[in-house]
Structure 1
Amino acid sequence: MERGDLIAGRYRLEAEVGPGGTGDVWRATEQGSNATVELRRVRLPQAAPAERERARERLRAEAGIASLLDHPNIAPVHGLVEHDGESWLVTRYVAAPNMAELTAAGPMSPHRAAAIGAQAAGALAFAHSPALGIVHRAVAPRNVLVGGGDRVTLTGFGSGGPASPGVEAYVAPEVANGLEPGPQADVFSLGATLYAVVEGRPPWGDGDAGQTRTAAMRGVVDPPRRAGALGPVLARMLESRPRERPTAAEAAQLLAEVARSSPGEARGEGAGGRRWLWVAVAAVAAVVVVAAGLVVWPRLGPATLVASGPAPTLGEPATADPCSLLRPEPFERFGKPILETDGGGFERCDVYIESGPDRSVARLQLAAASEAPPEGVPEERDGLVVVRGAPVNGECRRTLRLSDGNDVRISGQLLLGAAPDPCAVADVATDAALAVLVRGPVPRRPAPFDSRSLAMVDACGLLDRAAVAKVPGLETVDADPGYAGWYCDWENVATGASIVVTYDRDEGIKPEAGPRIKIAGRDAAARPDDDRAGCDVTILHRPYTEPGGKPGDELLLVKVDHPAPLPDPCAQAVAIAKVAVDHLPAAP
């Protein structure tokens, strides 16, 4: 887009006013009326044509609802127009800098930020009122305009939500984890905006898009250092659990208390600023009266704010006990439950359920959270985001996203027969885990690992650069560690070459692991892939006795995949596995 272009045959672009030269926000003149408006390009998600059209329809509906907003602190929405297959939101143009521009030269004082925030929160409270039920979805510094006398105008309603440019660093954790933004997400984003203008950086840091997304999914905000009396209010607005945040109306009251109780030292806190602060508070009061008949607010100052309970976290990964989240008793409704504490990896716990000819399993696994939300329908439960996947081939999955960047992954799976419903099994396991998580961090293991255990060995440290470079395409690839150091992979996505090192617990080496061999004096097996481009190597590390007295074995697994088939793919895999074995503790 360039100056002078005519959008939808009606709006002449005059000057770009958006940040960073993206061409997304322009000042324009409406032909005929000569009215000055703001045009905001709304970028739809990259998706199949049918999905994009559904997104376009949702956008039209949102813009239509946003056009009902009539508030002194909200830029009126005139409508949505289409031009060359793109959607443009038309709003009243406000000649005022946004909060990002105001703080480009340095942070804002907490007093001024509180007064500005009270007005913005009042506007959100009006939009959130039962009569309207409108969620902004994209509150960020660029959408908070501050004019003369620090009069605030909130813009961006109906502009497409968290995917809008410049908004990602201010999204609420539940939104980053896949939930639809609700009113409490707006409160978080306003708190994040105020945090940014006072602290000099957004709450999710100044990293790239991937780092920002990961931090937002974790939901852990560093305490503000410059916020002073505003700090306790920000702490409540930035609570990772939506239900623990104040409403927009409550936030407006709390912010107003901070502004009124602080000395008017900061620039812009003169009579004009205080006047618009009272306009915001009056508007919030009007909303509350309309919505509830009559509400009397207690005079809550920052000193009276009460901290909420601990957010659900994993704590130290290596000592977190997965079996503390999966008790067998709740599964008795389905049959005879049997707790398996030492099946598979160290991060896993299973409950097997036997009922006549039917057999199923509830499996719980601790893991580092992936950057992208898992597939399924997300919902908020007891302060966590729970993602419920659809059943696939007799298996049903649930994911609980914790506030410290980790997941609890749960599945219900049919092994034999047709009952019980695997999703019912997964839901029972999910409820059992939630009952523990809401009380605080995951409990610790009842006893430390044996010093000879693979659990004490960093998987990434078992292979050096020379060993990894034996596979073409991995010469310069760095290790990617997994949960608690019990998993490591080196992968070249472009060529398909990879090495994976991980640990397992079982009763010896199974026949399906391949022909038996010896590697550095240890029992082992190697099995080539059907396409002859890869090989799985299993090595017996040590026998041990499980807590219930049953014998078990710790196994080292090394999987090597080459870019192309080889006559003997296991020859090189075994050579790489020998390097790993040489770095293991001495065999018992």
Structure 2
Amino acid sequence: MGGTVERGDLIAGQYRLDAEIGSGGTGEVWRATEEGSKAAVALSRVRLSHLATGDRERARERLRADAAMASLLDHPNIASVRGLVEHDGEPWLVTTYVSAPNLTELTAAGPLAPGRAAEIGAQVAAALAYAHSPALRVVHGAVTPLSVLVGRGDRVTLTGFGISVAQDHGPSGPAAAYVAPEVANGLEPGPQADVFSLGAALYAVVEGRSPWGEGDPGQVRTAAMKGVVDPPRRAGALGPVLMRMLESRPRERPGAAEAARMLGEVARTEPTDGRGERTGRRRWPWIAAAAAAAVVVALGSVVWLRPVPAGVDAAAAGPALGDPATADPCSLLRPEPLDRFGQTLLEADAGNFDRCDVTIDSAQDRFTVQVQLIQSGPALPEGVPEERDGVVIVRGAPVNGECVRTLRLSDGHDVRVLARPVRGALPDPCAVADVATDTALAVIAAGPVPRRSAPFDPASLAMVDACGLLDTATVATVPGLETAEADPGVAGWDCDWENVTTGASIEVSYDRNRGGISRNAGNRMKIEGRDAAARRDEDGAGCDVTVMHRPYTDKRGYPAAELLIVKVDLAAPAPGAPPVADPCPRGIAIATVAVKRMSAAP
């Protein structure tokens, strides 16, 4: 597909190549002359031959769609997209040719003064605000110093619309040094990623290096995934603006219109040539007006999320979990993005089989992030709902030092992300939860969710249906549960029977714990020959019974155990009534029935 081209070649029968003016990982850029009109254009070649056939066709369709949207852009600081043509089986994007150096060339002799960088950045931000407006919703996807052309009087032209998303702009591509953390972690670039990339480009032209340093591609990628930016040292009044644009969490960054306003303020007060003298013409009244107009049309699009109406109780058709028994919860949680908070350790064998944890140690404090697969309820959990990539995200408020995020999928499953302290305090649990949520969303949106690398051991409790461990007669021994129906959890790994009126309930679930039954599990005993423990709840109305199912060696080589947990709660006594009798004898009796059935399971 395609081949070598050279000066003088006629592309798509319309454009005569004059000179190659740039190159990238997926193609090159040429200055060309349109036959007939003799207009100068820029031709960007996009090589797709390195992709598999199916991926190639999807990329081609994506490129066509992006080019069509980009062709709608009409802004004085954006290079106009004229269309997409095919030549020798390869797409070429046609844009207006602008004869001007890019920011990389402009800084070859040294960094820019903060004021001049702000002046240039304000124009780019105004262009982005226009493109991000609800009427257009066009994302650039790869703003870098190479895509910012600076002409006479520092008049700026932003290039690359319509092609950057289709090119290799990811963590290992040419834009890696300017990529936003959420994109480095696998998310599609959105408007807030454009703001970050612009901030990163301005950081580079002032500081002389990108926010992610100057290491090899692997080091740059790791730094981008962590999202920790060293404060600039040479930026003066521009520094605080850059740090806001370079926030690791997209929701904390300003929108492009707000960024244009802040950059304009810096440009009005900071020298543009490093000696206290301004260069070029003053265009700030026009930029401020453009930014203000963009605020009007872009209001509410700060995180590019479609607000979910309060009555929405399920996600629309979109990303799904698939078979929960084979979905790997640890594929949704990676320790690397959480390294910024402390020393991380992935715990694949913590809790029930539907859960995966990352433990984080910071000085004397320890906290954990949990990702758990659960059945969707009839309504959204409490919190602020948003929609992104077809997934409804509910952000709960922090409670008692914990923070919960819920991702509602389209097939009746939720992914619950919990950040909580284990020892000490967790200053901002929602910041930790948001990083883990972004990682999970990136995997879910890319789909399908990865499966477990190996099947469960046939002797594992994962092969046993929790609802099948108790019969109706046994459940009915708890007053109030005579007619209660079983409510199964994900993959049958837990089951509830509940009377919401009286508060009576039984819960059967599974657990995994290093070392076996914990020391605080209660009074030790034997149930059907198995080690067990029972503990009365603090309110006196409930009892938790823990039973050893089998020992095994976890994925890190430590001795661990699978445990059966039976929790029984009796109806709370009426005011003035005598206290509830010890519920543990009843809990032990019910656990005994469950153990017998568990032992009989094939």
TM bin (shorter chain): 0.5 to 0.7
Judged with a 3 Å threshold, the aligned counterparts in structure 2 of structure 1 residues 42 and 418 are, in CA distance, closer, same or farther, namely: farther
Is contact 2:121–2:263 with CA below 8 Å preserved after alignment?
yes
Matched, 1:3 2:51: no
Per-residue CA deviations over 1:411-445 (Å, capped at 9, x if unaligned) read 9994412764438989xxxxxxxxxxxxxxxxxxx
Is contact 1:112–1:269 with CA below 8 Å preserved after alignment?
no
Residue 120 (structure 2) aligns with? 116
- The one of 272, 291, 295 aligned to 1:288: 295
TM-superposed CA distance for 1:179, in Å, is: 1.2
Matched, 1:416 2:464: yes
Alignment: residue pair count: 376
- The one of 45, 57, 64 aligned to 1:60: 64
Question: C-alpha separation between the residues in 1 aligned to 2:213 and 2:491?
Answer: 38
Aligned pairs (5 A) from 1:284-323: 284-290=291-297, 315-317=341-343
Is contact 2:464–2:492 with CA below 8 Å preserved after alignment?
no
Aligned pairs (5 A) from 1:435-446: none
Matched, 1:128 2:154: no
Residue 196 (structure 1) aligns with? 204
Per-residue CA deviations over 1:526-561 (Å, capped at 9, x if unaligned) read xxxxxxxxxxxxxxxxxxxxxxxxxxxxxxxxxxxx
- The one of 155, 163, 166 aligned to 2:168: 163
Unaligned runs of 5+ in 1: 294-310, 323-346, 353-359, 369-376, 427-500, 509-588
Is contact 2:201–2:210 with CA below 8 Å preserved after alignment?
yes
RMSD (CA atoms):
4.4
Question: C-alpha separation between the residues in 2 aligned to 1:100 and 1:225?
Answer: 20
Question: C-alpha separation between the residues in 1 aligned to 2:18 and 2:493?
Answer: 60
Residue 236 (structure 1) aligns with? 244
Per-residue CA deviations over 1:181-209 (Å, capped at 9, x if unaligned) read 11111101100110111111111122232
Residue 364 (structure 1) aligns with? 357
Question: C-alpha separation between the residues in 1 aligned to 2:464 and 2:6?
Answer: 65
Unaligned runs of 5+ in 2: 301-336, 362-388, 397-402, 419-431, 444-448, 453-460, 468-487, 495-554, 563-602
Is contact 1:12–1:30 with CA below 8 Å preserved after alignment?
yes
Is contact 1:361–1:414 with CA below 8 Å preserved after alignment?
no
Residue 350 (structure 1) aligns with? 350
What amino acid sits opposite 2:106 in the alignment? L
**Secondary structure of 2:32's partner?**
strand
Per-residue CA deviations over 1:257-286 (Å, capped at 9, x if unaligned) read 1111223443897463422x4332221222
- The one of 29, 33, 36 aligned to 1:32: 36
Is contact 1:378–1:386 with CA below 8 Å preserved after alignment?
no
Per-residue CA deviations over 1:149-170 (Å, capped at 9, x if unaligned) read 0000011100132624532221
Aligned pairs (5 A) from 1:392-541: 414-417=462-465, 420-422=488-490, 502-506=556-560
TM-superposed CA distance for 1:362, in Å, is: 3.2
Matched, 1:279 2:286: yes
Question: C-alpha separation between the residues in 2 aligned to 1:78 and 1:261?
Answer: 38
Residue 181 (structure 1) aligns with? 189
What amino acid sits opposite 2:351 in the alignment? V
Question: C-alpha separation between the residues in 1 aligned to 2:26 and 2:348?
Answer: 47
Judged with a 3 Å threshold, the aligned counterparts in structure 2 of structure 1 residues 19 and 268 are, in CA distance, closer, same or farther, namely: farther
Question: C-alpha separation between the residues in 2 aligned to 1:264 and 1:209?
Answer: 33
Judged with a 3 Å threshold, the aligned counterparts in structure 2 of structure 1 residues 185 and 314 are, in CA distance, closer, same or farther, namely: closer
Judged with a 3 Å threshold, the aligned counterparts in structure 2 of structure 1 residues 271 and 228 are, in CA distance, closer, same or farther, namely: closer
Residue 380 (structure 2) aligns with? none
Residue 54 (structure 2) aligns with? 50
Matched, 1:226 2:234: yes
Is contact 1:367–1:407 with CA below 8 Å preserved after alignment?
no
Question: C-alpha separation between the residues in 1 aligned to 2:493 and 2:249?
Answer: 26
Question: C-alpha separation between the residues in 2 aligned to 1:158 and 1:78?
Answer: 10
Residue 13 (structure 1) aligns with? 17
Is contact 2:20–2:30 with CA below 8 Å preserved after alignment?
yes
| TM-score, normalised by the number of residues in structure 2 | 0.54
Q: Percent of aligned pairs with the same residue?
A: 59
Judged with a 3 Å threshold, the aligned counterparts in structure 2 of structure 1 residues 396 and 265 are, in CA distance, closer, same or farther, namely: closer
Question: C-alpha separation between the residues in 2 aligned to 1:506 and 1:257?
Answer: 60
TM-superposed CA distance for 1:43, in Å, is: 3.8
TM-superposed CA distance for 1:398, in Å, is: 8.2
- The one of 206, 217, 220 aligned to 2:214: 206
TM-superposed CA distance for 1:130, in Å, is: 1.3
Judged with a 3 Å threshold, the aligned counterparts in structure 2 of structure 1 residues 70 and 315 are, in CA distance, closer, same or farther, namely: closer
